[in-house]
Amino acid sequence: MSSNDVHKVRPFEHPGEGRRRAKATPKGRQVDPQAAHDIAELLGERPRRRDLLIEHLHLIQDTYHQISAAHLAALADEMRLSFAEVFETATFYAHFDVVKEGDPAIPPLTIRVCDSLTCAMLGGETLLRQLQDAAGPGVRVVRAPCVGRCDTAPAAEVGHNFIDHATVASVLAAAKAGDTHAHVPAAIGYDAYVAGGGYQTLQRLRAGTLSRDDVLKVLDDASLRGLGGAGFPTGRKWRAVLGEPGPRLMAVNGDEGEPGTIKDRYYLETDPHRFLEGMLIAAHVVEAADVYIYLRDEYPAARAILEREIALLQQHLPGGPVLHMRRGAGAYICGEESSLLESIEGKRGLPRHKPPYPFQVGLFGLPTLINNVETLFWVRDLLEKGAAWWTSHGRNERKGLRSFSVSGRVKTPGMKLAPAGITVRELIDEFCGGMAEGYSFRAYLPGGASGGILPASMADIPLDFGTLEKYGCFIGSAAIVILSDKDDVRGAALNLMKFFEDESCGQCTPCRVGTQKAALLMQQRVWDRDLLEELSQAMRDASICGLGQAASNPLTTVIKYFPDAFAPKEAAE
């Protein structure tokens, strides 16, 4: 190479390399112009904030009944996010049907059949198989975890229309008729609620005739506890949030995903303003400027009611915090409080490590009050009727009321408001009309999927916080599932473990691998009791959140209380 040739080399080009050919296309995933147009039109004037990612994904899913890779890339570009951020969020949630490049399109109509315990007991598995055989072209039939309609099992969903006591005929008839939208039940509206004295307590609080200390004292005197499952004292939680420097936020946990639980849906679909008034009272007490209502996607009717009634409320009773409705997307883990916060922020619902706790560092890094729907539902009644009214209820030395979600082999399942401390035997006989015809009481779940399984011989234990823990169980959200002499207790435990395996967020190994391995071991003809108990202990000790820590409760209680439900290890040797 001559000295003249050296000077012809481009900057940073090594001698002898020669000229490189330009790449035909730019690096990275390219946005399809038509997809970009679709997304821009769909979002319209909506903000492109990061925390609205899941809401925008719902818009795409609702419009196109699936989410293509092209639309994902266009959404990422529109929101100035990486494709990886959008993809990982979309694929985390079960209700987003992400179609990857090269995959066939998803049929325009999806039928979901619940396969959780109560629906499985009442024919859900058979219904699923029959619908898969009978559904024609353009229809996809898939299984779904609990949809919150355990009292009308088996349940199926055609689009967003839930079919109670579903049969092949009723489901296919709805599909054929195009009956795919949620049926919204009648609820107590704003005018009727106000006519019954509604919002007077809130007005007194805002006017200063009812003090913040008065409110907190009533909550303390009544010993109202969180009714979403954890049972933390409500007054203490409000005080903890108030003790943190502002600004503060509030989040409502309406992600009622525990199999067997229907109480929040019942209250939202019948008396939504009683919940809303309790929520606004709580927000006023802790001085929350914004409130985020996170509602599970399986409750489209409740969402429609809330959107309608909140609009009326803001029209007739202006002021107070800004209210934001946020829609879940089919992830049971988002019922865990820190996962819920992550989802509201538009991310995957992965539990946060604690501390710090949400009352310290919560939504968007601010101190956040998190309450369950039912907890807030009772605030107005407590303030108007007094703590003595609440504590006048109860049995077996327990105080207060409990909203029991009862399903399974009883004559009249449903939401039963009963005294705290009632036994399951009393609940069946006095509130459910007894056992279903032809069935004898064998076992029960005292606290939903994660609350364990107890035999009928232990049916006289008071049902309340702190009464079941010594038996390896807990009341949780008070979801009671009744099993009979014709039901397989071992199969019930396996059904619950498969639910937890499917719903594990995958963040921590003890839960992600533990639930999978437990389900595999539980499908064996002979259970290896020692190995299963060792695995259960590891899950309890090392899982990040309550899902993994409690997932083995049905397994360990079946081993302990139903020795006849599985062959002893020695029998196989």
pTM of the model: 0.93
Q: What is the pLDDT of residue 1?
A: 44
Residue 573 pLDDT greater than 50, yes or no: no
Q: For residue 15, is pLDDT > 60?
A: no
Structure tokens at 7: 């000077």
Query: How much of the chain exceeds pLDDT 90, in percent?
Result: 91
Contact 355, 362 (CB under 8 A): no
Backbone angles phi, psi at 506, to 5 degrees: 85, 0
CA 252 to chain centre: 12
The terminus-to-terminus CA distance of the chain in angstroms comes to 82
Alpha carbons 212 and 164: distance in angstroms, whole number:
43
For the segment 216-237, what is each residue's pLDDT rounded down to a tens digit?
999 999 999 999 988 999 999 9
Q: What per-residue confidence (pLDDT) applies to 81?
A: 96
Rounded average pLDDT over 526-546:
96
How high is the pLDDT of residue 346?
98
The pLDDT assigned to 539 comes to 97
Q: Using an 8 Å Cβ cutoff, are 110 and 97 in contact?
A: yes
pLDDT at 568 over 80: no
Question: pLDDT at residue 572 above 70?
Answer: no
**Token pair in block for residue 303:** 């969402």
196: phi then psi, degrees, rounded to nearest 5: -95, 20
For position 20, what pLDDT does the model report?
Answer: 53
Map 241-289 to HEC letters: HHCCCCCEEEEEEECCCCCCCCHHHHHHHHCHHHHHHHHHHHHHHHCEE
User: Which stretch of DSSP H or E encloses residue 409?
Assistant: none
In this predicted model, what pLDDT tens digit does every residue of 234-289 receive, in sequence order? Answer: 999 999 999 999 999 999 999 999 999 999 999 999 999 999 999 999 999 999 99
* pLDDT tens figures, 138-149: 999 999 999 999
* Ranges 12-16, 168-172, 252-256, 429-433: which has the least confidence: 12-16
> What residues contact residue 188 under an 8 Å CB cut-off, 6+ apart?
196, 270, 271, 272, 273, 274
Q: Say if residue 65's pLDDT is above 70.
A: yes
Query: For residue 4, what pLDDT is reported?
Result: 47
Q: What is the mean pLDDT of the chain?
A: 94
**pLDDT score for 310:** 98
What mean pLDDT comes out for the span 85-103?
95
pLDDT higher than 90, residue 564 = no
Q: Is the pLDDT of residue 460 over 50?
A: yes
Q: How many CA atoms lie within 13 A of 53 on its CB side?
A: 32
Give 30's pLDDT tier (boundaries 50, 70, 90): confident
Take residue 563 and report the two structure tokens written for it.
């020795």
How confident is residue 26, by pLDDT bands cut at 50, 70 and 90?
Answer: low
Distances (CA, A) of 57 to 28, 71, 288: 22, 10, 28
Is pLDDT above 80 for 467? yes
Q: Is the pLDDT reported for residue 489 higher than 70?
A: yes
